[in-house]
Structure 1
Amino acid sequence: MARTTPQSHPLTEGEPLYRRIAAQLLGELHDGTTPPGERLPGERQLAEHFGVSRETVRQALQLLRREGLVATDRRGSHAALPGLPVGTPASDGFPLGSGRAGRGAVTRAGVAWEVPPPAHAEALGVAPGRPTLMHRYRSASADGRELRTAVTSFSPVALAEVGELARYRDRADGTGAAELRRTYDWMRRAGLTLHHRDTITPIAGTPAVRVTRRVHDQYARPLEITELVMDAQQDVLVYEFTVPAAV
């Protein structure tokens, strides 16, 4: 955020300062300075940014909360504007395979709070029979010939460390659309260095392959597992790479 001052935005006569700050902050939310769902800077940073007191910032945030434009939980405040996140993810898009969907492809994605497959639960440290956040993605080409389906399970560590993911729990009923393409950016912003390991294996008797992605952080804690099934014919390939945490 570039620093602004009250002098840069003269007050309308009789208008409380906190209302002007609320309007300026709302403008920055709309223009994508802080994408929907992502955490806002703390009150101190906002006060320095706008050149006002923390009390003024607090009043401005309270006004935006009453109007349903900002929400606050134990991790801080975040934008609650409708719409998709703004900007291009800095790291590999989520879920695995979504970035290669062809032009005209029909895609659908959703989240659910449910018990993951046993193999996912064991690898992610989820107790048997306990639910976690799961994401399902489906993409079909315009002619219906190319199909990609991906299922992702998130670990308790991911939900504890990444507030943007944790907030999906209350609306993870499997029916609504879910926009998680910035997942890896959210993880990096939470201070996590991401290590990806993708294994590609042909599915016997079919022209399809299964790609299994496992992601862990710099402390070797598992974050997510994604299984992508797609039409292709390739030999087995395993590759690894690391995405550093945001600084």
Structure 2
Amino acid sequence: MARTTPHDRPHTDERPLYWRIATELLGELSDGTIPPGERLPGERQLAEHFGVSRETVRQALEVLRRDGLVATDRRGSHATLPGPPVENLTSLAFPVGARRAADPRAVDRATVTWETPPPEHAAALGLAPHRPTLMHRYESASADGRGLRRAVTSFSAVALAEVEQLARYRDRADGTASAQLRRAYDWMRKAGLTLHHRDAITRLPDSPSVRVTRLVHDQYERPLEVTDLVVDAQGDALVYEFTLPAAV
């Protein structure tokens, strides 16, 4: 008998909630949001991510386990889908300023919303006034509350039209569930986009903080995203690098 996966079932509104969550999680496993072999977030984090209960997440994971798509051991659950080795993401972290090796005691939060961006973002992305788009908010601080970083990103209509993984977030962009988009630049490359950026760095008056404004566009000069990052630069280093060809 052929093995059945969530994608093999016909789409119907009568599907149990846990089956729909299993299908969404399988999509994230397949597109590399969670790379092959990497440990999945805990049930609590997945529940927050999908906006459901831990019991629903538990049932969804069981569906994927039965199909051999997820394995669980004493260290947790991990994806077992075949795939190429995970790329070195040193230059791919999103948003600009995101911590590379997070302190396990640090507080990191990222969410997405569907709303009207700030006027300067709309102008940079070529969006009509009052037109909503996908926005990402990132905040990180060390365990003692120092080194605070806040980033606000707006994505363009081009990015949402051409990068499937980003477009998927529209339906759950309610500003509550966790939404880590660390692989956003990698998704853009795999969509055939060559990424270029322009960064403007300014020190905020009467403050130890600096502001970094990043505008990313593709090989056709179409804007893809704009990010405003504010960093408490006191005793903290901000290091980033960029120039990524499209994936072949």
Structure 1: 5+ residue stretches without partners = 1-15, 27-59, 72-77
- What is the percentage of aligned positions where both structures have the same residue? 64
Deviations 1:54-110 (A, max 9, x none): xxxxxx842497744446xxxxxx625699612466442011111356523211110
Q: CA RMSD in A?
A: 2.9
Deviations 1:21-50 (A, max 9, x none): x4xxx6xxxxxxxxxxxxxxxxxxxxxxxx
CA distance in 2, matches of 1:240, 1:181: 15
Residues 113 and 208 of structure 1: CA distance in aligned 2, closer, same or farther (over 3 Å): same
Cα contact 1:208–1:232 (8 A) shared by 2 = yes
Residues 180 and 209 of structure 1: CA distance in aligned 2, closer, same or farther (over 3 Å): same
Q: Does residue 79 of structure 1 match 2:27?
A: yes
TM-score w.r.t. the length of structure 2 is: 0.66
Which residue number corresponds to residue 134 of structure 1?
135
Cα contact 2:153–2:225 (8 A) shared by 1 = yes
Which residue number corresponds to residue 98 of structure 1?
98
Structure 2: 5+ residue stretches without partners = 36-85
Equivalent residues in 2 for 1:26-105, closer than 5 Å: 61-63=7-9, 67-68=19-20, 69-70=22-23, 79=27, 85-86=34-35, 87=86, 90=89, 91-100=91-100, 103=103, 104-105=105-106
TM-score w.r.t. the length of structure 1 is: 0.67
State the structure with more CA Rg: 1
Secondary structure at the aligned position of 2:188 is classed as: helix
Which residue number corresponds to residue 207 of structure 1?
208
Counterpart amino acid of residue 109 in structure 2:
R
Moved more, 112-121 or 78-87: 78-87
Residues 231 and 80 of structure 1: CA distance in aligned 2, closer, same or farther (over 3 Å): closer
Cα contact 2:202–2:211 (8 A) shared by 1 = yes
Q: Which has the higher strand share?
A: 1
CA distance in 1, matches of 2:137, 2:8: 35
Cα contact 1:64–1:70 (8 A) shared by 2 = no
Q: CA deviation at 1:188?
A: 0.6
Q: Does residue 196 of structure 1 match 2:197?
A: yes
CA distance in 2, matches of 1:152, 1:62: 35
